[in-house]
Chains A and B, each alone.
Chain A
């Protein structure tokens, strides 16, 4: 069982069947709620805007911005909420191909010492108006 339940909600963007649509250069605003299932002492709670390649090639990750929103104790069943705001760069655009996909996402995680980080992702579609 995960050590924490993490929810991500966006306040803007166009909803799609899978993820949310944004234009390059758009602002992404949202919030995340973390519900720890047990007491934890974390190095940080982080929110990341990143893109990565997925598919046949070795994955390449690029973090655009990282926010460290909390350090220290997380108490069981004490929810914590954080708001975030990022500005998307002009490139790359989201892409789905044969061997290569370009995926944008907001990732929220809890950085724990010597343990796997509980994480949650939300996919974004970054595509210009055609």
Chain B
């Protein structure tokens, strides 16, 4: 069994960007105003004055256009692969017992040529713990890869279809799904494409494992 762990810092980064954006929006226009007032005090011609006013208006608008633009750009970049080759079809049972067989069916037709560094389907048992640290709330996750199918370094042609039915099992010694406040144990099937020079494509399908042993 393979284990990985990660800290979930995405929201801290997004919050940081938003705070910086608000600060820039607050500080830049007054600074420009001061600049224009200073230039006007130099007694320039009305044409130059009009140009300066137009420039001030444009520069003042810039953060309001640029920052949402950056957010939209980031969102499009993150979802580029979904747009480029669509969403694979994955069928997994929603509810199982400990020890039950887990059939995972997946199918995907590529709409264009794609070279994948890695294509994987994983069965994951995840611990997700949330705690307070000072005034902030942090979440840490620990993933245990229970089963995995990997295809590495493959080029898929446009129109090529990949399809398979995997037969896995929730191990008999495993824990069931638990959703307590701030303490979550859950089972996931994750399908992932790693594509060079593009964001990874990953999709997750949660399975509820009941506190019952399959005989």
Contacts and interface: CB of A to CB of B under 8 A. Distances in A.
A57 B211 contact: no
Given A92-B176, A130-B172, A100 B185 contact: yes
Contacts, number: 69
B213 A95 contact: no
A58 B132 contact: yes
B213 A129 contact: yes
A55 to B, nearest CB: 6
A60 B211 CA distance: 19
**Contact-residue bracket for chain A:** 20 to 34
B173 to A, nearest CB: 6
Given A92-B211, A98-B3, A98-B5, A56 B129 contact: yes
Nearest to A56: B129
A20 interface: no
A77 interface: no
A70 to B, nearest CB: 31
Interface in A85-102: 90-93, 95, 97-100, 102
B131 A97 contact: no
B176 A97 contact: no
Nearest to A102: B178
A53 interface: yes
A24 interface: yes
Given A90-B211, A100-B185, A56 B176 contact: no
A56 B142 CA distance: 11
Of the listed residues B128, B129, B130, B176, the one surrounded by the most CB atoms of chain A closer than 10 A to its CB is B129
A128 B210 CA distance: 12
Nearest to B99: A130
B127 A99 contact: yes
Interface residues of B, number: 27
B180 interface: yes
Interface in B115-132: 127-132
A57 B173 contact: no
B140 interface: yes
A95 B132 contact: no
Given A99-B140, A129-B213, A91 B176 contact: yes
Given A55-B129, A56-B129, A95 B178 contact: yes
B183 A100 contact: yes
Contacts of A97: 127, 142, 175, 185
Nearest to B144: A98
Given A99-B142, A129-B213, A130-B172, A57 B131 contact: yes
Contacts of B130: 57-58
Given A57-B182, A60-B183, A92-B178, A100 B129 contact: yes
A-B pairs, top 4 by smallest CB distance, nearest first, are A57-B129, A91-B211, A98-B142, A53-B183
Interface of B: 3, 5, 98-99, 127-132, 140-142, 144, 172-173, 175-176, 178, 180-183, 185, 211-213
9 contacts: A58-B130, A58-B131, A95-B185, A98-B127, A98-B144, A99-B127, A99-B142, A100-B129, A100-B185
